């Protein structure tokens, strides 16, 4: 008998990626698709599902939804309105919004007033390579943001060697799907086609998520400057970091030792690229040093490793399944 999952927010970009992954999952099946209003069918919204997986999207009621795992693919501030009700019913939740990723102080400074501070304190940050044991027993996992996933995985191995008197600079670039399904002036085809531009430089909400997690891991404060850019590709993300070290070292050796047992982190000896990870769960990392200066580059699929496949990896751990079940390793990306 398979375990069951409910996907709340199934019609969005991240939600539909969850549907794709779970349709092919060997041990978890979709028990229900949910949205704010319901009444739609997934195969009508996304014709690729025709004849393969066809289902209605039902109105979401947190008092009635069932499943061994509940995925919340909802906008920021919406998840915290319903997650507590699910948890109080004994359900286990993977939340893909930012509502449970940050400390109360930082969430309220960068987002809005938090409506569920009690469960916020219980949430586990869902980056398996770093917090696997805590994820396994957590009732609530906060799925990391896309930029933070690439930034934290690439920088964590170097935390013992960072010169903290100098800032870390992060230059990041993401495909337009990272902006979500709803179109805006910046994501309109006429704006993004043949174009590249920074957005929310130094003030992007993911900057505090990266900083907070690196400070938890390193147990010391850091100064961090983060500038994201939108680029005219559908999916994929490249995060480049520049920092100073306390002493010269071999960065490839550091990375290989840190991730020796992690099959979904690949260490490269040449600069990484987006197309090699698009459609997969991999995070590819490259680093090079000149004396005490360090350059680190990480590439991921923002919709998968930065959202949906990471959520499935977390669910696998929470349900005592093999972590790699249902996670894509190869993809056809033209």
Residue located via tokens 């900057």: 207
Q: Which secondary structure element, helix H or strand E, spans residue 30, and what is its range? A: strand 28-35
Per-position DSSP letters for 309-322, written without gaps between them:
HHHHHHHHHHTT--
Q: Which secondary structure element, helix H or strand E, spans residue 91, and what is its range? A: none
> What was the pLDDT predicted at 180?
55
Catalytic, 283? Answer no
Q: Domain residue spans in the chain?
A: 3-143+307-318, 147-300
Q: Which two tokens stand for residue 228?
A: 């994201």
The reported pTM is: 0.94
Which one, of 307, 265, 305, 263, lies nearest residue 285 by Cα? 265
Backbone phi, psi, residue 122, to 5°: -90, -15
> What was the pLDDT predicted at 331?
82
Rounded to 10 deg, the angle between the 308-318 and 13-23 helix axes is 50
Reading phi first (left if > 0) and then psi (alpha if -120 to 50, else beta), residue 153 is in alpha
In three-state secondary structure terms, 195 is: coil
Q: Which two tokens stand for residue 40?
A: 């739609």
Q: What is the CATH number of domain 147-300?
A: 3.30.360.10
Average pLDDT per 10 consecutive residues for the chain, totaling 334 residues: 94 93 97 87 94 95 96 94 97 97 96 96 97 98 97 98 97 78 64 81 90 97 96 93 98 98 98 96 98 98 97 98 96 66
> Residues 127, 130, 132, 133: what is their CA dihedral angle, to the nearest 10 degrees?
-140
Under 8 Å CB-to-CB from 302, ≥6 apart: which residues? 146, 174, 175, 177, 178, 235, 236, 237
In three-state secondary structure terms, 171 is: strand
CA distance 151 to 153: 6
CA distance 41 to 21: 18
Per-position DSSP letters for 255-320, written without gaps between them:
HHHHTTT-TTEEEESS---STTTTTSS-EEEEEEEETTEEEEEEEE-TTTTTTHHHHHHHHHHHTT
Q: What is the Cα 102 distance to its own chain's centre?
A: 14
Residue 293 near residue 246, CB atoms below 8 Å = no
Residue located via tokens 């520049």: 242
Q: Give the domain 3-143+307-318 fold.
A: Rossmann fold (3.40.50)
Residue 123 near residue 213, CB atoms below 8 Å = no
Tell me which of 146, 183, 190, 283 is the catalytic residue: 146
> What was the pLDDT predicted at 189?
75
* Dihedral (CA of 283, 286, 291, 294) sign: negative
CA distance 122 to 232: 38
> What was the pLDDT predicted at 203?
83
């Amino acid at each position: 008998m398979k375990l069951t999952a409910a996907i709340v927010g199934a019609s969005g970009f991240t939600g539909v990626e969850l549907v794709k992954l779970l349709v092919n999952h060997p041990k978890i099946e979709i028990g229900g698709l949910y949205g704010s209003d319901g009444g739609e069918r997934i195969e009508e919204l996304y014709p690729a599902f025709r004849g393969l997986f066809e289902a209605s999207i039902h109105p979401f009621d947190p008092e009635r939804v069932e499943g061994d795992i509940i995925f919340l693919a909802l906008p920021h501030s919406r998840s915290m309105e319903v997650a507590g009700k699910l948890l109080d019913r004994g359900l286990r939740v993977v939340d893909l919004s930012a509502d449970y990723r940050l400390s109360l102080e930082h969430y309220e400074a960068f987002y809005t007033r938090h409506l569920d501070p009690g469960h916020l304190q219980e949430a586990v940050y869902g980056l398996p390579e770093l917090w696997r044991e805590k994820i396994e027993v957590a009732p609530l996992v906060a799925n990391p943001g896309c930029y933070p996933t690439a930034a934290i995985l690439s920088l964590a191995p170097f935390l013992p060697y960072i010169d903290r008197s100098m800032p870390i600079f992060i230059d990041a670039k993401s495909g337009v799907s990272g902006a979500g399904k709803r179109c805006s002036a910046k994501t309109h085809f006429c704006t993004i086609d043949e174009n590249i531009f920074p957005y929310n430089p130094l003030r992007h909400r993911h900057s505090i998520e990266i900083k907070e997690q690196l400070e938890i891991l390193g147990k010391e404060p850091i100064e961090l400057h983060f500038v994201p850019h939108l680029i005219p590709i559908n999916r994929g993300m490249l995060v480049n970091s520049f920092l100073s070290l306390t002493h010269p070292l071999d960065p490839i050796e550091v990375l290989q030792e840190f991730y020796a047992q992690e099959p979904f982190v690949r260490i490269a000896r040449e600069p990484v690229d987006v197309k090699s990870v698009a459609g997969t769960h991999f995070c590819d990392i490259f680093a090079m040093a000149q004396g005490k200066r360090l350059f680190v580059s990480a590439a991921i699929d923002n919709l998968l490793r930065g959202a949906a496949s990471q959520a499935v990896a977390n669910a696998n751990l929470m349900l005592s399944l093999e972590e790699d079940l249902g996670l894509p390793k190869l993809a056809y990306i033209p």
